[in-house]
Amino acid sequence: MEDNEFVERIQEKIERMTGRQVELRIDEEDAGQMGVELRDDIPLVILGNNVRQYSGFARMGIEYAVACIREERAIDPMEFHVLLARN
């Protein structure tokens, strides 16, 4: 699968899981970046380019983005670890 197609699938999955349109950006400089900005009507999801190499990082990024968008706030790392442990 092409990198761009994989990134599109990540965006589609986040949108499907949240029921909202999102903008997805891949950070080419910070490979481990994971963040969500909720300032606008369309949430901005920023994931590091590790999503292209590590499927586990991509899954974790999807879960993090979905949790933040559903809660409508940034999820703190410790809270996110607890959330992952429950699932």
pLDDT tens per residue across span 22-53: 999 999 999 999 999 998 899 999 999 999 99
- pLDDT > 90? residue 87: no
Whole-angstrom Cα distance, residue 85 to residue 79? 10
- pLDDT > 80? residue 11: yes
Whole-angstrom Cα distance, residue 81 to residue 87? 10
Domains annotated for the chain, with CATH where assigned, are 3-86 (3.30.2010)
Asked whether the whole model's pTM tops 0.95, one would answer no
Structure confidence at residue 1 (pLDDT): 57
Sheet holding 23-27, edge to edge: 23-27, 44-48, 34-37
- The answer to whether 45 touches 65, Cβ cutoff 8 Å, is yes
Handedness of CA 60, 81, 44, 53 (dihedral sign): negative
